[in-house]
């Protein structure tokens, strides 16, 4: 049983939850602070469950749709579905179960989150189709993950506000930028299979320039939030580290050297997200 659960955790790359989850925490605790609500452990657990179910559905759906593509790509041939570890029908069932659990969990949060849950699900599942049709697929992924802070904020307040939307903008530009870097690994394969990405459209150098521009926008919003919300020293420490790590990944990935793409993609961005969230939340309460 434990081994089987581990296979599904591997299927959805559960460790990559670390990208958006810290921003959901920001949205949740920001809402508690702004609304003056007490911190509800039950509500917090429901938000975490929503994040887990939504990401499980999105990632397993992506793996299900890409199973034939992954089988052809040397880099992805050993993934769970093409290697036969998990059957396609089982992966699809996993998608459906997690989608239902996501919507059901939002029901216990509030009516607005429940009514918006199908929309969120369409966005996060829709990403899997887009690389077949447009190089803008990176921005669809950015949109999906950007729902984390505003979704968590809505779970507490039941209303939209500017500040959590600004945190969502950070995620949108940040994720879109680092997904372009990640897709550099498959540029030759994607071209051969007529798959769309910014690297296949623009080439390696221009794709990295576009990624850097997106991260400039993300950095600007990080700085603006500190100014707009009159945040104190804790926030600015986290902001400086976050921005520094954004630019560190651009220093280690070059058009002629992609050997450290995974370090830039997973390690650097994961650390950046956690540090930024920790210091932002510390600023809210201390």
Tens of pLDDT along the chain (286 residues) come to 656 677 777 777 766 778 899 999 999 999 999 999 999 999 999 999 999 999 999 999 999 999 999 999 999 888 889 999 999 999 999 999 999 999 999 999 999 999 999 999 999 998 888 888 899 999 999 999 999 999 999 999 999 999 999 999 999 999 999 999 999 999 999 999 889 999 999 999 999 999 999 999 999 999 999 999 999 999 999 999 999 999 999 999 999 998 898 888 788 999 999 999 999 999 999 8
pLDDT at site 12: 72
Res 222: pLDDT: 98
Measured between alpha carbons, how far is 143 from 248 in angstroms, rounded to an integer?
A: 23
Q: What pLDDT score was predicted for residue 165? A: 98
Give the number of other Cβ atoms within 10 Å of residue 223's Cβ.
14
pLDDT at 267: 86
Q: What is the dihedral of CA 186, 189, 194, 200, to 10 degrees?
A: 40
> Which pLDDT score, from 0 to 100, does residue 263 have?
84
pLDDT score of 1: 60
Residues with Cβ within 8 Å of 237's Cβ and at least 6 positions away in sequence, in order, are: 279
pLDDT of residue 11: 79
Does an H or E element contain 222, and which? helix 204-228
The CATH number of the structural domain formed by 2-285 is 1.10.357.140
What is the pLDDT at residue 2? 57
The domain segmentation of the chain, as residue ranges, is 2-285
What are the DSSP E strand ranges found in 125-250?
Answer: none
How confident is the model at residue 112, as a pLDDT?
Answer: 97
**The predicted structure's pLDDT at residue 33:** 96
Q: What pLDDT sits at residue 182?
A: 93
Q: Is the dihedral of CA 67, 90, 129, 273 positive or negative?
A: negative
Rounded Cα distance between 212 and 255, Å, is 13
């Amino acid at each position: 049983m434990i081994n089987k659960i581990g296979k599904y955790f591997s299927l959805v790359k559960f460790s990559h939850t670390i990208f958006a989850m810290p921003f959901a925490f920001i949205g949740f605790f920001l809402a508690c602070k702004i609304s003056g609500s007490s911190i509800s452990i039950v509500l917090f657990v429901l938000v975490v469950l929503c994040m887990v179910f939504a990401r499980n559905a999105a990632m397993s759906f992506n793996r299900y749709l890409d199973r034939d593509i992954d089988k052809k790509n040397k880099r992805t041939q050993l993934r769970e579905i093409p290697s036969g570890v998990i059957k396609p029908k089982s992966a699809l069932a996993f998608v459906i179960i997690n989608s239902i659990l996501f919507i059901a969990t939002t029901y216990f949060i509030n009516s607005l989150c429940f009514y918006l849950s199908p929309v969120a699900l369409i966005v996060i599942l829709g990403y899997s189709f887009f690389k077949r049709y447009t190089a803008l697929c990176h921005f669809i992924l950015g949109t999906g993950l950007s729902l984390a802070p505003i979704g968590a904020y809505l779970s507490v307040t039941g209303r939209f506000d500017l500040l959590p939307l600004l945190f969502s903008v950070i995620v949108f530009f940040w994720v879109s930028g680092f997904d372009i870097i990640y897709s550099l690994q498959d540029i030759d394969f994607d071209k051969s299979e007529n798959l769309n990405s910014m690297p296949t459209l623009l080439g390696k150098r221009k794709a990295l320039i576009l990624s850097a521009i997106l991260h400039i926008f993300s950095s600007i919003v990080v700085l603006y939030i500190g100014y707009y919300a009159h945040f104190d020293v804790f926030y600015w420490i986290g902001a400086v580290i976050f921005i520094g790590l954004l630019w560190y990944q651009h220093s280690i990935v070059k058009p002629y050297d992609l050997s450290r793409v995974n370090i830039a993609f997973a390690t650097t961005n994961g650390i950046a997200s956690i540090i930024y969230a920790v210091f932002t939340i510390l600023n809210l309460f201390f």
